[in-house]
Structure 1
Amino acid sequence: MTHILKAALSVGTVAAALLAASPATAFPAVGHRGDPAVVTTDNETPALYDDEEGGNASGDDPAIWVHPKDSHRSIVIVTAKEGGLRVYDMRSRELQSLAATEAPRADTAKGRYNNVDIAYDITLAGRVVDVAVVSDRYNDQLRFFVIDPAGAAARTPLTEVTAADQRFLFNPDRKAVDEEHTAYGLAVWQPKRGETYAVVTQEGATTLATARVVEVDGRLGYTSVKKLTMPSTFKLPDGSTWSPCAEPGVLPQFEGVAVDQKSGVLYAAQEDVGLWRLRLPLGSGGQPTLIDKVTDFGIHDAYDEESEECRPIDPKAKGFGGNRLTADAEGVDIYYGPGSTGYVIVSSQGDDTFAVYDRQGKNAPVGGFRVKGAKGADDVNGSDGLAVTNRPVGDYRRGLLVTHDEPESGPDVDDERDATNFSYVSWGEIADALSLKVTTKAGNDPRFR
């Protein structure tokens, strides 16, 4: 049964609070961006092709699983939408390819795997396991895959353990699911040992949801779905009201989400709006805060049905945006330092860069970077999802960031096909370029107790 939060903020209450706030309070200013730093990568996964020959595989979102004893056995798990999942080792070699199979339900459809995150130390059938949690857009539900403790040394690193006939997350029935306003972005939240939730966004809507992960007949499912509707319209300092432009019936959606496991703070990227901070459980801890805005925030556009594009009503309009995120604001993850220190990293898909913010306080911006290819790897463009860990993994002794790259290019890539992949970037190199701290202790990240 779905429990709509009694204390949850509806679209009206959240928007009203923002509309009532002064411009300085509602939309805090950020510092001048300057030129982003440049870091390099020479380690990238094989190209995925979004066509029939390639299994309609389109890369989207990565997650890093850290082996508890041998970091070289750590793995990267990525979504490939209709192409399922891929598992790679620390040298970006493919270890496993899993098809987007039909969900275990009576009214099933083949899957479309959009986002992935890792849940550590879940009790299942009497043993403690780590699990990849995945959003399945075509079935509007979660899918679960146990990670073999051998990691990269396992013959089959992932095995699905999704319980049968799990409820739809956002829709009442299969007919509504087929409209595809379904489970989209995803992050795992583990507030204490023995308690695991998935935070999920809805495609084409402003709804966020949490679902508690539970054991069901020796497999994994979920219960206690709670929802929160975020704003889709905003009052601007000039007195006008603004909504991001989209095709009819589509609201400004969220995708990238990440949870600070120590504080219970959720960071959520609303693609055409900016980066939000709010407290979990949903509806607790005061009003959501819009930390930073995309550059074209407040520019009034009109949707052109013939071209299916949004165009500025006034081409000279400057808007009220920030200067670090160019729509879409996409992937989000957290680098843990000691205590409340560390960083929030966001991919700025529209200009092929990444913005970095302080993890503590008001999340002040601390810099930005772009990723240039080296030794045969190409530059990172149009990044969607990203994942970061402070832990040493493989040869990345000062931590690792993995990012989606689209389009993938290079001498070994068929440029006549739609190619994507994922690039590995040393956190140490990012830290050096931006004068950030490197702290690799396991205790910094509460998931590694």
Structure 2
Amino acid sequence: MVKSLRHRPAWGRGALVTALVAVAATVPLDSGALAATALPAVEPRAETPALHDDDAGGNADADDPAIWRNPADPDRSLVVATAKQGGLRVYDLHAREVQSVSAPAAPGPDDAPGRFNNVDLVHGLRLPSGRADLAVTSDRGSDRLRVYRIDRERSGGPLTDVTDPSAAPVFSSSQEEINEQRTAYGLATWTDPSTGRSYAVVSQRERTRIALLELTPKSDGTVGYRKVRTLDLPADFRLPNGTSWSPCGEPGELPQVEGMVVDPANGTLYAGQEDVGIWRLRADLTGKPQLVDKVREYGVPATYDPSTEECAAGADPGYGGKRLKADVEGLTLLDEGDGDGDGEGDGYLLASSQGDNTFAAYDRELSDRNEYEGGFRVTAASPALDGSEECDGAAVLNEPLGATYPNGLLVVQDGHDAPGDAERPSTGFKFVDLGDVLDAVDD
């Protein structure tokens, strides 16, 4: 089986998907595939202009979005999204681009350029000029965080780079290590209500490590960070039959985390270990992590074939979950309030099940052990407005966004934007009315 699109051949994602669909047509559907097909469907209302990961398209590849609500004028709210080597894109609520921010250039001719992977928001951080909302992104290319102040009325565009120029690499000790690209990858931000301090939780590419970084405003108006602690999730797992299992990958590659989100109601971090499942742990990285749900491939033996860059799977022993098909990707919280004061978040944890193009919804209440509540698919609204496939990142906001999205908004990455050229990888973001999502999950 194909492990993930991280190892897709150079001939492009569209062609790979076409090949997989052709193969799938000759294989009987399993119960998981049937369940995915039966999930309710929602349709997007808008999509961003396509991004192309090639020289002609500026090496831009859509990955992860965040939704910023303009409290003074909700109709003028924004979506900030990563485009990997293409930097950041900022969109209005009609999915029109309002700003493009370039990733930093490589420091030397043989060094890795900037590559923005995940983005999240910090609200009301105290700077010398006053409180400000920030967009924080993981720069996988340089192993650093980049920080941007959000000012909707700024004439040059709403984002201004306020990154401390002396900010150190998150995981690497040298430029040589940075060039190996075991660098800052997934990212989630949170603010501790007891102290008012803001943090970023950052995962390491091709490793199981997660780092807690405190954001540190400087007297010159820039923002840096300091590492508080790290935590390593497991890479090997003991199965019920007494054997040890680890997900298949390239030699030396460990099962990484990308999608992450922190529940502000109780300081709980949810972390998606792509080929394993969803972990629940304290956002301060203390205590013992708990595996909330597993991908269906959990426990399946597989062998990596370097000639094909694929993992050939053996017989399924039946130890995996039922809701997620690897990779588990974008995690986001659908907040429905916390009016009862019990420290339990009311609403859903949404997770992208990348392997079958679906989304799973889990209860946020810890006392219910994050019970599965349902799922949905984002499907085509018209021949010109397709759905979401191979979704990497997602963001949801359950607040009215003016006349455009009075019910709130869900933004999902589309890893295979169509219609498009199969020889030219094409990605983007789909905007979905949150009322449609709630109707689907609550069915």
TM value normalised by structure 1:
0.85
Please give the residue correspondences for 1:206-225 in structure 2 after superposition, counting only pairs within 5 Å.
206-216=208-218, 217-225=220-228
**1:390 and 1:417 mapped to 2: Cα distance?**
35
Tell me, yes or no, if the aligned pair for 2:190 and 2:198 is still in contact at 8 Å: yes
- Deviation of 1:203 after TM superposition, in Å, equals 0.3
The aligned counterpart of 1:338 is: 337
CA distances 1:125-162 after superposition (whole Å, capped 9, x unpaired): 23111000000011111000100143xx8541111111
- 1:382 and 2:393 equivalent? no
Structure 1 unaligned blocks of 5 or more: 1-29, 437-449
Which residue of 418, 429, 437 corresponds with 1:430? 437
- Residue identity opposite 2:409 in structure 1: L
- Deviation of 1:225 after TM superposition, in Å, equals 3.4
- Residue identity opposite 2:45 in structure 1: D
CA distances 1:268-295 after superposition (whole Å, capped 9, x unpaired): 00000001100121123xx211010000
SS of the aligned residue for 2:437 comes to helix
- 1:310 and 2:311 equivalent? yes
The aligned counterpart of 2:176 is: 175
- 1:248 and 2:257 equivalent? no
Structure 1 segments (4+ residues) deviating >2 Å: 32-35, 102-105, 107-110, 316-319, 413-416
- Deviation of 1:36 after TM superposition, in Å, equals 1.4
- Deviation of 1:59 after TM superposition, in Å, equals 0.4
CA distances 1:142-196 after superposition (whole Å, capped 9, x unpaired): 000100143xx85411111111121111112111111100000001011126411
The aligned counterpart of 2:94 is: 91
Distance change (3 Å), C-alpha of 1:310 and 1:104: closer
The aligned counterpart of 1:15 is: none
**1:416 and 1:171 mapped to 2: Cα distance?**
35
- Residue identity opposite 1:167 in structure 2: A
**2:106 and 2:136 mapped to 1: Cα distance?**
14
**1:400 and 1:182 mapped to 2: Cα distance?**
31
CA distances 1:355-400 after superposition (whole Å, capped 9, x unpaired): 0000103100000110112142112100000000111114111111
Please give the residue correspondences for 1:272-311 in structure 2 after superposition, counting only pairs within 5 Å.
272-284=275-287, 287-311=288-312
**1:147 and 1:424 mapped to 2: Cα distance?**
21
CA distances 1:307-329 after superposition (whole Å, capped 9, x unpaired): 121112x3x33431111110000
Tell me, yes or no, if the aligned pair for 1:74 and 1:90 is still in contact at 8 Å: yes
SS of the aligned residue for 1:422 comes to strand
**2:123 and 2:152 mapped to 1: Cα distance?**
11
**1:93 and 1:52 mapped to 2: Cα distance?**
22
- Residue identity opposite 1:164 in structure 2: P
- 1:56 and 2:59 equivalent? yes
Please give the residue correspondences for 1:230-241 in structure 2 after superposition, counting only pairs within 5 Å.
230-241=233-244
**2:251 and 2:241 mapped to 1: Cα distance?**
26
Tell me, yes or no, if the aligned pair for 2:211 and 2:227 is still in contact at 8 Å: no
Distance change (3 Å), C-alpha of 1:154 and 1:373: farther
Aligned length: 397
CA distances 1:392-425 after superposition (whole Å, capped 9, x unpaired): 1141111111000011012xx3343110000011
- Residue identity opposite 1:424 in structure 2: F
- 1:350 and 2:355 equivalent? yes
Tell me, yes or no, if the aligned pair for 2:393 and 2:413 is still in contact at 8 Å: yes
The aligned counterpart of 1:195 is: 197
Tell me, yes or no, if the aligned pair for 1:109 and 1:139 is still in contact at 8 Å: yes
- Residue identity opposite 1:157 in structure 2: P
Identity score, percent: 46
- Residue identity opposite 2:289 in structure 1: P
Tell me, yes or no, if the aligned pair for 2:106 and 2:113 is still in contact at 8 Å: yes
- Residue identity opposite 2:389 in structure 1: N
Aligned-residue CA RMSD (Å) = 2.0
The aligned counterpart of 1:143 is: 146
- Deviation of 1:116 after TM superposition, in Å, equals 0.2
- 1:370 and 2:377 equivalent? yes
**1:325 and 1:304 mapped to 2: Cα distance?**
24
**2:308 and 2:421 mapped to 1: Cα distance?**
28
The aligned counterpart of 2:406 is: 397
- Residue identity opposite 1:338 in structure 2: G
Distance change (3 Å), C-alpha of 1:46 and 1:269: same
- 1:162 and 2:163 equivalent? yes
SS of the aligned residue for 2:417 comes to coil
Structure 2 unaligned blocks of 5 or more: 1-31, 339-344
**1:265 and 1:104 mapped to 2: Cα distance?**
37
SS of the aligned residue for 2:214 comes to strand
Tell me, yes or no, if the aligned pair for 2:352 and 2:392 is still in contact at 8 Å: yes
The aligned counterpart of 1:3 is: none
Tell me, yes or no, if the aligned pair for 2:121 and 2:189 is still in contact at 8 Å: yes
